[in-house]
């Protein structure tokens, strides 16, 4: 953002145009991939909301305005909570769900481990 702010107005406009054109191209690609992958599961619209949310977030991180309107980026709060790096390590062993990501411990197995 600092380098862009120090650039000439013409260069700033070029960079903004490039950014939005690239985002359009990437979004179109992701949209097709999402449809191929998630249409059979009925999750396409939820995933597309997340794509638009991430696109807006990337633009804001670069100092640009959002491209997609807020109503089209209304991501399920459970998805955002699951992705939060500030989530507690609160896991329910039996349901396999939790509020954060935990890496499991690895232990080498021996042949005797399979004797029941």
pLDDT exceeds 80 at position 63:
yes
pLDDT at res. 54 = 94
Contact of 76 with 93, CB cutoff 8 Å: no
- How far, in Å, CA of 112 to CA of 77, rounded? 45
What are the backbone dihedrals phi and psi of residue 98, each rounded to the nearest 5 degrees, phi first? -165, 180
What number is the average pLDDT over the span 44-59? Answer: 94
pLDDT in tens, 75-98: 988 777 777 766 555 555 555 555
Closest CA to 1 of 10, 12, 14: 12
Per-residue pLDDT for 114 more than 70? Answer: yes
Which own/partner contact pairs does 22-25 have at CB distance under 8 Å and 24+ positions apart?
Answer: 23/55, 23/58, 23/59, 23/67
Does the pLDDT at position 108 exceed 70?
Answer: yes
Q: What does the alpha-carbon distance between residue 22 and residue 85 come to, in Å, rounded to a whole number?
A: 28
pTM of the model: 0.67
């Amino acid at each position: 953002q600092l380098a862009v702010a120090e650039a000439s107005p013409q260069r700033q406009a070029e960079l903004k145009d490039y950014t939005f054109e690239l985002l359009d191209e990437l979004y179109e690609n992701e949209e097709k991939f999402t449809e191929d992958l998630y249409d059979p599961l009925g999750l396409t619209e939820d995933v597309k909301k997340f794509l638009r949310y991430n696109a807006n977030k990337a633009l804001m991180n670069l100092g640009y305005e959002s491209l997609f309107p807020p109503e089209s980026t209304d991501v399920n709060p459970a998805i955002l909570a699951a992705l939060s790096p500030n989530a507690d390590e609160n896991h329910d062993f039996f349901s396999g769900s939790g509020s954060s990501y935990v890496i499991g411990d690895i232990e080498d197995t021996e042949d005797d481990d399979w004797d029941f």
